[in-house]
Amino acid sequence: MEQTYFRKGFGLKGQIQGALSDDYHSAVVDEVRARGYTVTVGDLTVRLAQEFGFCYGVDRAVEYAYETRTKFPERRIFLVGEIIHNPHVNAKLTAMGIERIARGPAGAFDFAQVTAQDVVILPAFGVTREDFERLRALGAVLVDTTCGSVLNVWKRVESYARDGFTSVIHGKYQHEETRATASQVTAYPEGRYLVVRDMDEARQVCAFIEGDDEGAAGALRARFRAAASPDFDPARDLVRVGVANQTTMLSSESLAIAAELRRAMAGRFGAGALREHFRSFDTICSATQDRQDAVLRLLQDSVDVVVVIGGYNSSNTNHLAALCAERRPTYHIEDAGGIDPVAGTIRHKAVGASGEVEVPGWLGTGPCTVGVTAGASTPNNKVGETIERIFATRGVALAASLA
């Protein structure tokens, strides 16, 4: 019988390495790294964070997608949504003939075209249990690139459901990873979840835990209607809670939310009974943590402005931008195209905004140090192009200066 589920590589790395290098490698980034992550020309310095860009999970997912194309040259290949949240990487896969499956008007992925003869790639952030079962039932070959760090969160959430704890997930309920993580509670009939986006939402949950009156239950149900199990009942489901996070959240906020819930549960049930009512595990992935730590270290140096590169829908990129914006003028750009060296402008998305704005004269004219970092889904070539355009804004051809 043909194997129809794969979650380890096909052993074709040697055959795809050239294409990966052509598509994502950057000689400029290699050179900046070799120079201690800092390059200065004239009175302009660019400092690169020591951890940035593609993480181990993204590396693996992208490699696996390229291997899949090589392994099944004659088959139709589909991708559920986006492999990662980077428009360039998704466009490359489309150019390789990998077709994206979009969501239908009701919000569910539309698998109508998929047949048993096709191959379907599952993205790095995974798919919901329901979507997985639907695809299995269709009989297509599934290539599962779900990151191991995401699978660890799923195990945690599943164990909460098994033991009768409601999963309180710090994340964005519409994010693919969080949808997939929340769906893991359905492995058990009594499994429940509640997604809180930030400390403000967590405090509303804590206020209910500490007060617990019927009117508050109705308000909480209404507030979290889209972000909780369909039959979520605060009075029943907030007696035992386990905290988990979307892997790419701001780690300091995740820890603070867990502490706040712990405090509320201890207040309600007593510190001695906490073990029966509260569990928590920090499920921020190490790649997210490393990038957040590295950018904070970068900001301890003399950096005047920061450029953060990554998809506008990339959670970890947005959190890097938020960390920087608290400390320095920060520009979150989707790619190097956001910088116009001739006009001297930068087009970026401000933290919390939904659209872009263009800023003239962002680099000024005097001595300046620009910090640069990139989210876990940003390839090195997009980082290198950005660094070149920063220098080009001052009239410097970086490749020639580095030669």
The residues annotated as belonging to the active site are 177
> Where do the DSSP E strands lie in 67-176?
77-80, 98-101, 119-122, 141-144, 166-170
Closest contact distance (angstroms) between CB of 55 and ligand SF4 is 3
Please list the alpha-helical segments (H only) found in 212-250: 214-223, 234-237
Please identify, using beta-carbon distances, which residue of 31 and 290 lies nearer to ligand SF4.
290
Please identify, using beta-carbon distances, which residue of 127 and 390 lies nearer to ligand SF4.
127
**Does 324 sit near ligand SF4 (CB under 6 A)?**
no
Please identify, using beta-carbon distances, which residue of 48 and 180 lies nearer to ligand SF4.
180
**Does 248 sit near ligand SF4 (CB under 6 A)?**
yes
Closest contact distance (angstroms) between CB of 336 and ligand SF4 is 22
Instruction: Supply the Cα-derived Rg of the chain in whole angstroms.
Output: 23
Please identify, using beta-carbon distances, which residue of 56 and 188 lies nearer to ligand SF4.
56
Q: Which of 124, 143, 180, 324 binds ligand SF4 (CB under 6 A)?
A: 124
Closest contact distance (angstroms) between CB of 316 and ligand SF4 is 6
Q: For the stretch 338-360, what's the b/e string if a residue is b when 16 or more beta carbons lie within 10 angstroms of its beta carbon?
A: bbebeebbbbbbebeeeeeeeee
Closest contact distance (angstroms) between CB of 51 and ligand SF4 is 12
Cβ(194)–Cβ(217) below 8 Å: no
Q: Show contacts with ligand SF4 in window 167-226 (CB under 6 A).
A: none
Instruction: Choose one: 7-15, 142-150, 203-211, 324-332; the region binding ligand SF4 (CB under 6 A).
Output: 142-150
**Residues in a beta bridge with 359:** 346
- Record the tokens describing residue 182, joined without a space: 């929340």
Rounded Cα–Cα distance for residues 261 and 253 (Å): 12
Q: Show contacts with ligand SF4 in window 258-287 (CB under 6 A).
A: 285, 287
Closest contact distance (angstroms) between CB of 2 and ligand SF4 is 29
**Does 316 sit near ligand SF4 (CB under 6 A)?**
yes
**Does 251 sit near ligand SF4 (CB under 6 A)?**
no
Please list, in sequence order, all residues whose beta carbon lies within 8 angstroms of the beta carbon of residue 280, skipping any fewer than 6 positions away: 242, 243, 258, 261, 262
Cβ(54)–Cβ(378) below 8 Å: yes
Closest contact distance (angstroms) between CB of 56 and ligand SF4 is 5
Q: Which of 80, 114, 147, 324 binds ligand SF4 (CB under 6 A)?
A: 147
**Does 150 sit near ligand SF4 (CB under 6 A)?**
yes
Answer positive or negative: Cα dihedral of 229, 234, 237, 238: positive
Cβ(185)–Cβ(164) below 8 Å: no
Closest contact distance (angstroms) between CB of 251 and ligand SF4 is 12
Please identify, using beta-carbon distances, which residue of 44 and 320 lies nearer to ligand SF4.
320
| CA angle 9–21–313, rounded 5-degree value | 75
The one-letter amino acid code at 272 reads G
Please identify, using beta-carbon distances, which residue of 26 and 145 lies nearer to ligand SF4.
145
C-alpha distance from residue 367 to each of 42, 95, 303, 344 (Å): 8, 42, 11, 16
Rounded Cα–Cα distance for residues 93 and 84 (Å): 11
Per-residue binding letters, 49-88, with ligand SF4 (x by CB under 6 A):
------xxxx------------------------------
**Site size toward ligand SF4, by CB under 6 A:** 15
- Record the tokens describing residue 91, joined without a space: 């466009």
Per-residue binding letters, 352-381, with ligand SF4 (x by CB under 6 A):
------------------------x-----
Applying CB under 6 A, the residues found at the interface with ligand SF4 are 55-58, 124, 147, 149-150, 247-248, 285, 287-288, 316, 376
